[in-house]
Amino acid sequence: MRVSPWVVPVLVIIAAVLGIGGARFLAAPSFTRDYAAAAGARVETVRFVVRGLKCVDTARQVAGQFADEPGVLRCVARASRNEAQVTYDAAVTGPQALRAAIEGPVVDEASGRIVFHQFEVRSIDGAAIR
Amino acid sequence: MAGRVSTLQRVRLALQVGVAAAALIAGVRLARGWSLAGVEKYCPFGGLETAWSFVTRRSFSCAAGELNLALFLALLGLTLVARKAFCSWVCPVGSVNEWIFRLVRRTGARLPLEPAPRTDRALRWLRLPVLGVILFFTWRTGELVFRGCDPYYILTSAHGHEVKLWSYAILAAVLALGVVVPMAWCRYLCPLGITLWPFSALGRLRLRHAVSRCTACAACSRACPHGIDVAGSTEVRSGECTLCLECTEACPAAGALELRLEGTKP
């Protein structure tokens, strides 16, 4: 069947829309770290957008920032979205404490050096931080 | 149709310029700290690079993510219908190569040189080891280790992460190669191009050559940036066809070249 050449750009645009729209169905974390069991905890989840969270290594580092933070149950870091989703016991900790943990000094595993200002929280649950 | 630029080709140019500009802006915004989204997020080849990690571990490699994978899958779907249309309508590296091809041809120089068909066919297989090496090391390390050699990334990342001085030397070499041989990167080195090739060969949209209406001027073959012998075949079956439609644009005989959807009734 003869078709108009205009079908080509139309198909290109349809593919782009399907690709961008379909991304949500393929979401997967870059790194997940479980800290504690949730039994008896007042479980809440908060989502941080973090500058510096851009690959699997930095996702691992962000998730590792809660090692000394009481009340953290789980951290799921997604480098593709610059996002860390933290599940915590609201009776023990809260978003601001978690933000401080993320923005705290980072120990670089390879060199053993302490790195400051590696991560900066840009938004908490969609609310931008000024 | 020959002699003046059609609206369709103007739209194609607008799309190419738009995508290249959007990628550049995204690169500058990331480099200046105005945005956290880099140019890598929109590269479908990143989807192929991270596919193994996604299938086996349900996680992504390095900075690649779900958008890369979804765009790659959508691109496969597009290719099964519209051949390698992505290469000539969207890809910024393909666009830059095409602009170089046009520019050099307009100068009246003897460049770019169209290689002999046999040499051309043999050189196209170079893309296979390029693809193999990239996928092997990416899957093995979980990192986008060849980022610094990727012309798309070097062009659009505004001196992004892992772009070194030698990266610009690679980019310059790729562009210079495009001056000598038309679309050299796309034809002989692009790993995405070889990935799409088998799917493109199955693509349902094909250019049909009506020999009865043809004036045998071979303007279509000369216009093809990918060196496909359009004039010498009744149907363009090559998996290298990007449906840029430069051949139909160059054809002086009305109806001698037409786009058809195969597998449907005439």
Banded model confidence at residue A44, pLDDT cuts 50, 70, 90: very high
Q: Look at residue B60 and tell me whether its pLDDT is greater than 90.
A: no
Range of the domain at A104: 29-128
Contact of A52 with B36, CB cutoff 8 Å: no
The CA distance from B83 to B148, in Å, is 29
Give residue B26's Cα distance to chain centre. Answer: 20
> What letters, b where the CB count within 10 A reaches 16 and e where it falls short, cover B208-217?
bbeeeebeee
Answer whether A51 sits within 8 Å of B75, measured CB to CB.
no
CB under 8 Å, gap of 24 or more: what pairs does B136-140 form? Answer: B138/B49, B138/B50, B138/B61, B138/B62, B139/B49, B139/B52, B139/B53, B139/B61
The CA distance from A17 to A23, in Å, is 10
Banded model confidence at residue B264, pLDDT cuts 50, 70, 90: low
Return the SS3 of B159: coil
The CA distance from A63 to A30, in Å, is 10
Residue A1 within a domain: no
| Dihedral sign from CA coordinates of B85, B88, B91, B97 | positive
Residue A52 within a domain: yes
Min mean pLDDT across A24-28, B3-7, B31-35, B200-204 is at B3-7
Banded model confidence at residue B61, pLDDT cuts 50, 70, 90: confident
Banded model confidence at residue B3, pLDDT cuts 50, 70, 90: low
The number of folded domains in chain A is 1
CA distance A50 to chain B (A): 8
Contact of A10 with A85, CB cutoff 8 Å: no
Tell me the chain B residues in contact with residue A31 when contact means C-beta distances shorter than 8 Å.
59
Compare A32 and B97 and report the one with higher pLDDT. B97
Residue A4 within a domain: no
Instruction: Kindly state whether B211 is in contact with chain A, defined as any CB-CB distance less than 8 angstroms.
Output: no
Summarised one tens digit per residue, pLDDT across range B218-258 is: 999 999 999 999 998 899 989 999 999 999 999 999 889 99
What was the ipTM of the complex prediction?
0.91
CA distance B170 to chain A (A): 24
Give residue A8's Cα distance to chain centre. Answer: 37
Residue A3 within a domain: no
Q: Look at residue A50 and tell me whether its pLDDT is greater than 90.
A: yes
> What integer pLDDT is reported at residue B265 of this predicted model?
53
Q: Which residues contact A15 (CB under 8 A, 6 or more apart)?
A: B74, B75, B77, B78, B86
Residue A109 within a domain: yes
Residue A60 within a domain: yes
Summarised one tens digit per residue, pLDDT across range A94-127 is: 999 999 999 999 988 778 889 898 999 999 999 9
Contact of A79 with A30, CB cutoff 8 Å: yes
Residues making up chain A, counted from first to last: 130
Q: Look at residue A67 and tell me whether its pLDDT is greater than 70.
A: yes
Contact of A99 with A48, CB cutoff 8 Å: yes
> What integer pLDDT is reported at residue B30 of this predicted model?
87
When pLDDT is averaged across residues B46-60 and rounded to a whole number, the result is 87
Residue A66 within a domain: yes
Looking at chain B, the whole-number percentage of residues with pLDDT higher than 70 is 97
The CA distance from A22 to B70, in Å, is 6
Answer whether B63 sits within 8 Å of A79, measured CB to CB.
yes
The DSSP output letter for A65 is T
- What are the structural domains of chain B? 7-200 (no CATH), 204-255 (3.30.70)
When pLDDT is averaged across residues B42-68 and rounded to a whole number, the result is 87
Interface test with A, best of B7, B45, B55, B66 (most A CBs within 10 A): B66
At A53, phi and psi to the nearest 5?
-90, 95
> What integer pLDDT is reported at residue B219 of this predicted model?
93
| Predicted TM-score (pTM) above 0.90 | no
Banded model confidence at residue B35, pLDDT cuts 50, 70, 90: confident
When pLDDT is averaged across residues A36-51 and rounded to a whole number, the result is 89
Summarised one tens digit per residue, pLDDT across range A6-25 is: 999 999 999 999 999 999 88
Structure-token pair, residue B44: 């479908």
> What integer pLDDT is reported at residue A94 of this predicted model?
94
CATH no. for residue A110?
3.30.70.100
Residue type, A39: A
Burial (0-12, 13-18, 19+ Cβ within 10 Å), B167? buried
Q: Which residues contact B263 (CB under 8 A, 6 or more apart)?
A: B204
